[in-house]
């Protein structure tokens, strides 16, 4: 509130000079002169009427200017938000399109300010707090780096793998020729060695090398990728499809790697992938040792204080990449692998077997059991949206209690799923997906489908979904019949061991002598 009343009192009642009034009110002398001039123009003198408040005085001295009849066309912010999700689209491009339609519209700076105000009113973002040693976020950078391939003599664009720990932001980057399965898993192994330990959870994107079948509730991991996770005893929880906020950590650090690692190397010519990775490691070291802008220390110091002590120890030997595939044994009881033939027991002819191929070994498995597993912020719960609070409060016990409201079979399926996972969070999506099926098909049908899934030994989200879609839940469950016992003299029932068992024994002896 402007100090108009005090200025008028000191000037007219106390008789002070403009400079003395300005010093007493802690304002400029020019401001005092302006207030007095506006008061004189408005016909206001001292003493002021008692009915005149501060707001009324300010309105008399500073009347609101009438709005111009010309109004500029507002941009379609919903359209802008959708277009910005498309590859290569920027705010400047959208402003040019807007300006071509509305030449008298807003300039680029005001256009950006209006959009930021609109974006700030959208769904609030959940500030995630990461525990030390809990999560490692992995992804590939959008930019590539040119490297000379000595085999072909051509310049190839190498891919850049980025891994970031959630608690400390400590970042690892390296270049590989491709994003293939072997390079993908090899980058994980080298990242674990770089960090000197293994986190609890790895959060990848839904790229084909890691996830063969993306699904919101039960994504299918590549068998080789799953085996690598088993070897390091780490849980893999892919992000939701088209939800980059699930791995915002690595998204931000991919940008940092592109700006502070790849951009400074843009004019260098690399004669080998090894030379390129040495340069990336050097720039990455500078990135990790660069002081934070708003926090004390650097990524390296925070890593050594938080993440490093919490990481799990590495195995004695690094994981050796293995390619897993399924094949059927030929009639000559041999399997063809890379134009070589390997024999298996002839009893497996026409049987389906699983092969595990490494650089030095070939292993064949028959009916192998599939393993079912598939910088610091303080957040007050009262400040969080309801959806975020409910998400952070989920526990295995709460999921089971929720499922029990539907029925015992549903609770049994949820308990089985949670008990079969290495890390509890791996079962959350599957269980939430099963409960969501109840909203679509009804609780009664869901309970019947879960009962059938338990009976056939397949308690999973996809199995329950298939039963509901096929309407098998509406068919009566086949009773489990006892084993049929044939009528034969050599088969003794429970009565044989009751009273008269000796007589039965003598009778059997007589029958035996008679037959002889």
In a domain, 351, yes or no: yes
Average pLDDT score over the chain? 79
What percentage of residues in the chain have a pLDDT greater than 90? 17
pLDDT at 232 over 60: yes
Specify whether 460 is located in the same domain as 414: yes
User: Which pLDDT value is given to residue 86?
Assistant: 64
**Least confident stretch, 5-9, 162-166, 291-295:** 291-295
Summarised one tens digit per residue, pLDDT across range 35-87 is 888 888 888 878 887 777 777 777 887 787 665 545 788 888 878 876 776 65
pLDDT at 330 over 80: no
In a domain, 379, yes or no: no
Specify whether 301 is located in the same domain as 175: yes
How many structural domains compose the chain?
5
Kindly tell me the burial class for residue 167, based on how many C-beta atoms sit within 10 Å of its own C-beta (0-12, 13-18, 19 or more). buried
Q: How many helices and strands (H and E) does the chain possess?
A: 20, 13
User: Which pLDDT value is given to residue 507?
Assistant: 47
Specify whether 350 is located in the same domain as 276: no
User: Which pLDDT value is given to residue 390?
Assistant: 58
Specify whether 162 is located in the same domain as 302: yes
pLDDT at 197 over 80: yes
Of 38, 28, 40, 44, the residue nearest 63 (C-alpha)? 38
Helix axes 443-455, 408-419, angle to 10 degrees: 50
User: Which pLDDT value is given to residue 419?
Assistant: 82
What is the secondary structure of 336-375 as a DSSP string? Answer: EETTEEEE--GGGTT-EEEEEE-SS-EEEESSPPPP----
Summarised one tens digit per residue, pLDDT across range 259-282 is 888 888 888 889 889 999 999 999
- Which positions ≥6 away from 263 have C-beta within 8 Å? none
User: Which pLDDT value is given to residue 340?
Assistant: 77
Question: What's the CATH number where 260 sits?
Answer: 3.30.420.10
Q: Which residue has the higher pLDDT, 344 or 491?
A: 344
pLDDT at 143 over 60: yes
In a domain, 94, yes or no: yes
User: Which pLDDT value is given to residue 79?
Assistant: 83
Q: Give the whole-angstrom CA distance, residue 136 versus residue 385.
A: 26
In a domain, 336, yes or no: yes
424 band by pLDDT with thresholds 50, 70 and 90: low
pLDDT at 165 over 80: yes
Specify whether 81 is located in the same domain as 173: no
Alpha carbon 40 to its chain centroid, in Å, reads 66
Q: Give the whole-angstrom CA distance, residue 122 versus residue 260.
A: 31
pLDDT at 100 over 80: yes
In a domain, 443, yes or no: yes
Specify whether 299 is located in the same domain as 423: no
Specify whether 281 is located in the same domain as 191: yes
User: Which pLDDT value is given to residue 129?
Assistant: 60
pLDDT at 370 over 60: no
**Least confident stretch, 83-97, 172-186, 500-514:** 500-514
Which residue range forms the structural domain that includes residue 294?
Answer: 135-310
Mean pLDDT of 249-263: 82
Specify whether 33 is located in the same domain as 54: yes
Q: Which residue has the higher pLDDT, 253 or 447?
A: 447
Specify whether 327 is located in the same domain as 306: no
**Least confident stretch, 125-134, 260-269, 487-496:** 487-496
User: Which pLDDT value is given to residue 387?
Assistant: 55
Q: Report the first-to-last Cα separation within the chain, whole angstroms.
A: 122
Alpha carbon 150 to its chain centroid, in Å, reads 38
Specify whether 446 is located in the same domain as 346: no
Specify whether 413 is located in the same domain as 465: yes
Specify whether 359 is located in the same domain as 214: no
In a domain, 515, yes or no: no
């Amino acid at each position: 509130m402007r100090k108009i009343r005090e200025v008028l009192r000191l000037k007219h009642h106390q008789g002070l000079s403009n400079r003395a009034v300005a010093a007493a009110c802690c304002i400029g002398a020019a401001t005092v002169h302006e207030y007095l001039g506006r008061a004189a123009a408005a016909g206001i003198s001292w003493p002021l009427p008692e009915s005149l408040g501060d707001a009324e005085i300010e309105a008399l001295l500073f009347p609101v200017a009438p709005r111009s009849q010309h109004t500029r066309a507002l941009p379609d912010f919903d359209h802008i938000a959708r277009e910005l999700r498309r590859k290569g689209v920027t705010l400047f491009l959208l402003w040019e399109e807007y300006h071509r339609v509305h030449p008298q519209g807003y300039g680029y700076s005001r256009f950006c300010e209006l959009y930021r105000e609109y974006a700030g009113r959208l769904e609030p973002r959940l500030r995630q707090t990461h525990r030390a040693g809990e999560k490692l976020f992995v992804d590939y950078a959008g930019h590539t780096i040119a490297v000379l391939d000595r085999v072909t003599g051509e310049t190839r664009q190498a891919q850049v793998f980025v891994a970031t720990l959630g608690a400390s932001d400590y970042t690892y980057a390296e270049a590989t020729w491709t994003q293939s399965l072997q390079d993908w898993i090899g980058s994980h192994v080298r990242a674990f060695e770089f960090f000197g330990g293994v986190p609890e959870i790895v959060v990848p994107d839904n790229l084909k090398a890691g996830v063969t079948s993306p699904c919101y509730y039960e994504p299918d991991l590549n068998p080789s990728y799953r085996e690598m996770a088993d070897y390091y005893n780490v849980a893999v929880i892919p992000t939701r499809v088209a939800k980059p906020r699930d791995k915002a950590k690595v998204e931000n650090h991919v940008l940092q790697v592109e700006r502070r690692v790849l951009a400074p190397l843009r004019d260098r010519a690399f004669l080998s992938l090894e030379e390129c990775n040495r340069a990336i490691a050097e720039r990455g070291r500078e990135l990790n040792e660069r002081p934070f802008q708003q926090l004390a220390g650097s990524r390296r110091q925070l890593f050594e204080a938080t993440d490093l002590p919490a990481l799990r120890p590495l195995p004695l030997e690094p994981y050796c990449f293995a390619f897993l595939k399924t094949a059927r044994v030929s009639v000559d009881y041999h399997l063809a692998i890379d134009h070589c033939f390997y024999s298996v027991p002839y009893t497996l002819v026409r049987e389906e077997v699983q092969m595990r191929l490494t650089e030095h070994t070939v292993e064949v498995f028959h009916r192998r059991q599939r393993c079912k597993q598939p910088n610091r912020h303080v957040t007050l719960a009262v400040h969080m949206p309801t959806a975020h609070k409910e998400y952070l409060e989920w526990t295995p016990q709460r999921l089971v209690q929720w499922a029990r409201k539907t029925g015992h079979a549903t609770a049994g399926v949820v308990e089985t799923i949670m008990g079969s996972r290495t890390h509890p969070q791996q079962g959350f999506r599957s269980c939430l997906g099963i409960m969501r099926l109840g909203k679509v098909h009804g609780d009664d049908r869901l309970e019947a489908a879960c009962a059938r899934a338990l009976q056939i030994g397949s308690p999973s989200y996809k199995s329950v979904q298939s039963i509901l879609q096929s309407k098998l839940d509406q068919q009566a469950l086949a009773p489990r019949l006892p084993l049929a016992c044939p009528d034969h003299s050599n088969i003794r029932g429970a009565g044989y061991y009751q009273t008269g068992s000796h007589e039965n024994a003598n009778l059997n002896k007589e029958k035996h002598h008679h037959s002889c």
